[in-house]
């Protein structure tokens, strides 16, 4: 079974993955390891930069006993002009048990999945989806809150280019949350309702900030030092208008002093940013269990 988008998952599959994520989270904290995927091989195929996603998939695989092989894309035959489809056919002939892919093109994970015999996990395709990030964000909130029912979530920043926002906007409402997307008008999708960052944050229970994805922009938008933070970023003043127990999230990588005041990011109580990273390993263990069908 592939894991390519939120829409491809049923409610019960989502519930199972999130439930297993909490299970693996407790296991990891207790130092218990599992061996269900011993002898299996995961391929990591990342055409875009990554710290958290790449490392947490590798760590998740190792915690389940699998081995990980990572294609160093910069030194691969991609640089000699090989197409993604030919790379996929080549990797398929090596018979991996799971392939995790991140690529710049929307729909690339689906295209690769159509070629591979092994299950494929989408670790981000262009500006389209990043389903395992949304799953780990939901698992992080459940860890803190139990249920997401009626929880008001403001997702703020570069919505136009954010696959994280797109996957979360699909997943979180299915779990009962109310999601509002907000950002600079230049960085909002054309079809999105226009809410200001101030309005979205006011009264929110959760504020999720997103980076300006400069690599996908042709302009120098948001370059002037301090300006973005002042106009659209998470400052102490904006946070003060949120719910009293507000929780702050960020998928990373953060640009401190741009979309978020660094002091807020470091707050031990209200910031869930480190918890998101810890939960990413547990959630990806649950995703590997789900796609392989090999249960611990
Ligand atoms: C995000 C991504 O790559 O989509 N990072 C992540 O996976 N945690 C967000 C980003 O690059 O800004």
What is the per-residue pLDDT across 182-206, written as a single tens digit (0 to 9) for each?
999 999 998 877 799 999 999 999 9
Say yes or no: CB of residue 102 within 6 Å of ligand 1: no
Cis peptide bond prior to 113, omega within 30° of 0: no
Residue 196 tokens read as 């200001």
**Domains in the chain: how many in total?**
2
Q: What does the pLDDT look like over 24-37, one tens digit per residue?
A: 999 999 999 899 99
- Tell me what pLDDT residue 218 has: 80
| One domain, residues 48 and 114 | yes
Gap between the Cα atoms of 291 and 236, Å rounded: 41
| One domain, residues 175 and 240 | yes
Stretch among 86-95, 186-195, 249-258, 273-282 having the lowest mean pLDDT: 186-195
Domain holding 172: CATH number? 3.40.50.1370
Helices (H), the chain: 11-30, 52-63, 84-92, 108-115, 131-145, 163-174, 197-201, 227-232, 236-240, 262-265, 273-292
- Tell me what pLDDT residue 254 has: 96
- The reply to whether 215 falls in a domain is yes
- Tell me what pLDDT residue 55 has: 98
Distance 251 CA to ligand 1 centre (A): 6
pLDDT class of 217 with cuts at 50, 70, 90: confident
- Atom nearest to 252 CA in ligand 1: 8
Domain with 202, as residue range(s), is 131-276
Bridge partner residues of 42 (DSSP): 68, 98
Say yes or no: CB of residue 131 within 6 Å of ligand 1: no
- Tell me what pLDDT residue 296 has: 75
Residue 90 clears pLDDT 90, i.e. is over it? yes
- Tell me what pLDDT residue 224 has: 73
- Tell me what pLDDT residue 282 has: 98
- Coil, strand or helix at 145: helix
Mean pLDDT in residue range 51-56: 98
Residue 4 clears pLDDT 90, i.e. is over it? yes
Q: Under a CB-based contact definition with an 8 Å cutoff, are residues 159 and 181 in contact?
A: yes
Mean pLDDT of the chain: 96
Gap between the Cα atoms of 277 and 111, Å rounded: 28
| One domain, residues 263 and 200 | yes
| One domain, residues 227 and 136 | yes
Distance 131 CA to ligand 1 centre (A): 11
- Tell me what pLDDT residue 247 has: 98
pLDDT class of 75 with cuts at 50, 70, 90: confident
- Atom nearest to 102 CA in ligand 1: 3
| One domain, residues 124 and 169 | no
Mean pLDDT in residue range 160-189: 97
Say yes or no: CB of residue 130 within 6 Å of ligand 1: yes
Distance 252 CA to ligand 1 centre (A): 6
- The reply to whether 5 falls in a domain is no
Distance 126 CA to ligand 1 centre (A): 10
| One domain, residues 24 and 122 | yes
Say yes or no: CB of residue 157 within 6 Å of ligand 1: no
Distance 39 CA to ligand 1 centre (A): 30
* Nearest protein Cα to ligand 1, atom 8: 251
Say yes or no: CB of residue 63 within 6 Å of ligand 1: no
* Nearest protein Cα to ligand 1, atom 12: 211
- The reply to whether 124 falls in a domain is yes
- Atom nearest to 124 CA in ligand 1: 4
Q: What end-to-end distance do the CA atoms of the chain give, in Å? A: 17
Mutate to test the pocket of ligand 1, among 252, 255, 256, 276 (most ligand atoms within 8 A of CB): 252
- Tell me what pLDDT residue 221 has: 78
Instruction: Select the highest-mean-pLDDT range: 67-81, 159-173, 224-238.
Output: 159-173
- Atom nearest to 53 CA in ligand 1: 7
* Nearest protein Cα to ligand 1, atom 11: 253
């Amino acid at each position: 079974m592939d894991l390519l988008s939120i829409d491809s998952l049923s409610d019960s599959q989502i519930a199972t993955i999130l439930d297993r994520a909490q299970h693996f989270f407790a296991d990891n904290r207790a130092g218990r390891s599992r061996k269900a995927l011993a002898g299996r091989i995961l391929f990591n195929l990342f055409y875009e930069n990554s710290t958290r996603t790449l490392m947490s998939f590798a760590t998740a695989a190792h915690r389940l006993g699998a081995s990980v092989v990572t294609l160093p894309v910069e030194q691969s035959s991609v640089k000699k002009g090989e197409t993604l489809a030919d790379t996929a056919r080549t990797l398929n002939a090596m018979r991996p048990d799971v392939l995790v892919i991140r690529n710049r093109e929307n729909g690339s994970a689906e295209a690769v999945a159509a070629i591979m015999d092994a299950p494929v996990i989408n670790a981000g395709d262009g500006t389209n989806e990043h389903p395992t990030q949304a799953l780990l964000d939901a698992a992080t909130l459940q860890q803190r809150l139990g249920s997401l029912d009626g929880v008001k979530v403001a997702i703020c920043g570069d919505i136009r280019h954010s696959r994280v926002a797109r996957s979360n906007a699909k997943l979180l409402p299915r779990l009962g949350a109310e999601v509002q997307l907000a950002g600079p008008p230049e960085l909002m999708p054309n079809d999105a309702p226009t809410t200001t960052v101030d309005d979205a944050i006011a009264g929110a229970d959760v504020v999720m900030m997103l980076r300006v994805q400069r690599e996908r922009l042709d302009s120098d938008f948001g370059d002037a030092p301090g300006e973005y933070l002042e106009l659209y970023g998470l400052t102490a003043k904006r946070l003060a208008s949120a719910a009293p127990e507000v929780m702050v999230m960020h998928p990373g990588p953060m640009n401190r002093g741009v979309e978020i005041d660094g002091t807020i990011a470091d707050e031990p109580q209200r910031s869930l940013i480190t918890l998101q990273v810890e939960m990413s390993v547990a959630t990806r263990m649950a995703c590997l269990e789900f796609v392989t069908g090999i249960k611990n």
